[in-house]
Amino acid sequence: MKNIALVEDCCPPLLETALSAEDAERMAVAFRVVGDPTRLRLLSMIATHPGGEVCACELVEPLGLSQPTISHHLKVLFEAGLLGRERRGTWVFYRVSSGPLEALRSALATTPN
Amino acid sequence: MKNIALVEDCCPPLLETALSAEDAERMAVAFRVVGDPTRLRLLSMIATHPGGEVCACELVEPLGLSQPTISHHLKVLFEAGLLGRERRGTWVFYRVSSGPLEALRSALATTPN
DNA sequence: TCTTTGTATCGACGTTTGTCTATATCGAAC
DNA sequence: GTTCGATATAGACAAACGTCGATACAAAGA
B57-69 tens-digit pLDDT: 999 999 999 999 9
Asked if B44 lies within 8 A of A15 by C-beta distance, the reply is yes
Query: In 3-state terms, what secondary structure has residue A97?
Result: coil
Q: How far is A57 from chain B (nearest CA, A)?
A: 17
In CATH terms, the fold of domain B21-107 is Arc Repressor Mutant, subunit A (1.10.10)
Q: Closest chain A residue to B12 measured between Cα atoms?
A: A44
B47 neighbourhood in chain A, CB within 8 Å: 14-16
CATH 1.20.1050.10 holds for A21-106: no
pLDDT at residue A4 above 70? no
For chain A, domain boundaries: 21-106
Alpha-carbon distance A63 to A56, whole Å? 12
B97-107 tens-digit pLDDT: 989 999 999 99
Alpha-carbon distance A94 to A34, whole Å? 16
Residue B33 CB partners (closer than 8 Å, separation 6+): B1, B6, B7, B39, B76, B77, B80, B82
pLDDT at residue A26 above 90? yes
Q: Is the CB of B2 under 7 A from strand C?
A: no
Does the interface ipTM go beyond 0.85? yes
pLDDT at residue B112 above 70? no
A59-100 tens-digit pLDDT: 999 999 999 999 999 999 999 999 999 999 999 999 999 999
Look at phi and psi of residue A31 and say left if phi exceeds 0, alpha if psi is from -120 to 50, else beta: alpha
Alpha-carbon distance B38 to B56, whole Å? 14
B47-58 tens-digit pLDDT: 999 999 999 999
For chain B, how big is the Rg over CA atoms in Å?
A: 15
Q: How far is A52 from chain B (nearest CA, A)?
A: 10
